């Protein structure tokens, strides 16, 4: 499939693979055991420019494409979905939204230091009573002179406990539903802002999921991103880019699981021969390889459309849905091929299996992806 990439994209892919092997892979088991955001991973990625991969050079970034972001996600997720999620949240959700919808002053103030890796970004949309149904959002923003006053809480916010810059969605009027949602920047250390519970999760344990609390948080009007009432449109646009990142995570994780299964099947002897000689094992691995290739191609199509400036909401929903399903199925089969050894923490299979489930949940559940796709088909 590399033949579908340009020479520059293949070179970037190789560079990513080398970086991950040298700097990320050796640390992922320990980061997972620690069960906290692996800030060292963010620092490592900042040192090679990944924190501003898709941001133009004039704003401190690398000027890369969404295809570059997709390829980076795949390679990072081969080692750790947690690490891929840290940078995906920072660049694909928060930073991407700040650059696209912020004005020139906001780009200079927020985007430049974040793209350089001097500050970590987060994206605060989800609430306990308003996750898939954004219109039920209860976090409010009230205008008071030249300030906005924010009250409410967000949950399951990736990077939330360590973020310096948080893209926060709040409603200016609950009665307006979606049309009241507006976007703001809240910076770490702002009076009234605090971090609540940091969740103890099944998987992606080297990434955080935090509760964020807003108690009369006052921010200047200059921290409003885009127009009042346009937050829903902004959120959905940003989520398309986030879903591309998650589809890459699914491909990368499934690829790592398949590689491990192939290597183990060649070494493991049963009944006088390597288990890779058994047709049952061979056919399992064929199905796994086919699923991974199909998932990669769906993500590739979405990334190409995005870079061409075309609408890609349906295509990226298809990519995310299929990649999540693929990761779940492939990691299950890979663990089964390893048998009892795959169930033990000495091998990474149990981590792959735990991590895979989140792909069916964040950046829109699989059910939401089906809703997006079905609406596009019937429109």
| 363 catalytic residue (yes or no) | yes
Residue 345, token pair as written in the block: 């923490």
3-state secondary structure of 141: strand
CA contacts within 13 A on the Cβ side of 86:
30
The residue from 7, 57, 363, 367 that is catalytic is 363
3-state secondary structure of 23: helix
228 neighbors 172 (Cβ within 8 angstroms): yes
Give the whole-angstrom CA distance, residue 322 versus residue 299.
9
Give the whole-angstrom CA distance, residue 157 versus residue 208.
7
CB atoms near residue 175 (< 10 Å): 7
CB atoms near residue 366 (< 10 Å): 17
> In the 3-class helix/strand/coil scheme, how is 182-221 assigned residue by residue?
EEEEEECCCCCEEEEEECCCCCCCCCCEEEEEEEEEEEEH
Residue 295, token pair as written in the block: 């998932």
330 neighbors 292 (Cβ within 8 angstroms): yes
CA contacts within 13 A on the Cβ side of 151:
8
For 311, phi and psi rounded to 5 degrees?
-65, 135
Provide the annotated active-site residues: 363
């Amino acid at each position: 499939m590399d033949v579908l990439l340009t020479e520059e994209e293949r070179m970037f892919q190789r560079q990513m693979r080398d970086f991950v092997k040298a700097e990320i892979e050796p640390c992922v088991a320990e980061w997972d055991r620690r069960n906290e955001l692996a800030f060292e991973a963010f620092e490592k990625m900042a040192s090679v420019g990944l924190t501003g991969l898709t941001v133009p050079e004039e704003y401190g970034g690398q000027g890369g494409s969404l295809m570059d972001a997709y390829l980076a996600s795949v390679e990072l997720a081969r080692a750790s979905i947690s690490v891929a999620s840290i940078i995906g949240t920072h660049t694909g959700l928060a930073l991407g939204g700040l650059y696209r919808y912020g004005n020139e002053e906001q780009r200079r103030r927020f985007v430049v230091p974040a793209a350089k890796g001097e500050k970590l970004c987060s994206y605060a949309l989800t609430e306990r009573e308003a996750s898939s149904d954004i219109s039920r959002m209860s976090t409010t923003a009230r205008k008071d002179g030249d300030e906005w006053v924010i009250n409410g809480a967000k949950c399951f916010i990736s990077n939330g406990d360590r973020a310096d810059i948080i893209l926060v969605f709040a409603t200016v009027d609950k009665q307006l539903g979606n049309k009241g949602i507006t976007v703001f920047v809240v910076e770490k250390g702002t009076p009234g802002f605090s971090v609540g519970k940091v969740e103890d999760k099944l998987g992606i344990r080297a990434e955080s999921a935090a509760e964020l609390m807003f108690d009369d948080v006052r921010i200047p009007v200059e921290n409003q991103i885009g127009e009042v009432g346009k937050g829903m449109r902004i959120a959905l646009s940003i989520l398309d880019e986030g879903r591309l990142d998650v589809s890459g995570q699914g491909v990368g994780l499934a690829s790592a699981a398949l590689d491990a299964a192939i290597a183990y099947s060649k070494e493991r002897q049963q009944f006088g021969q390597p288990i890779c000689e058994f047709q049952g094992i061979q056919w399992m691995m064929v199905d796994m390889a086919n699923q991974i290739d199909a998932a990669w191609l769906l993500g590739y199509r979405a990334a190409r459309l995005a870079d061409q400036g075309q609408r890609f909401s349906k295509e990226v929903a298809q990519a995310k849905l299929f990649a999540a399903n693929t990761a779940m199925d492939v990691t299950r089969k890979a663990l089964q091929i390893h048998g009892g050894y795959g169930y033990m923490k000495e091998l990474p299979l149990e981590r792959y299996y735990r991590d895979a489930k989140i792909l069916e949940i964040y950046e829109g559940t699989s059910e939401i992806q089906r809703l997006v796709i079905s609406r596009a088909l019937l429109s």
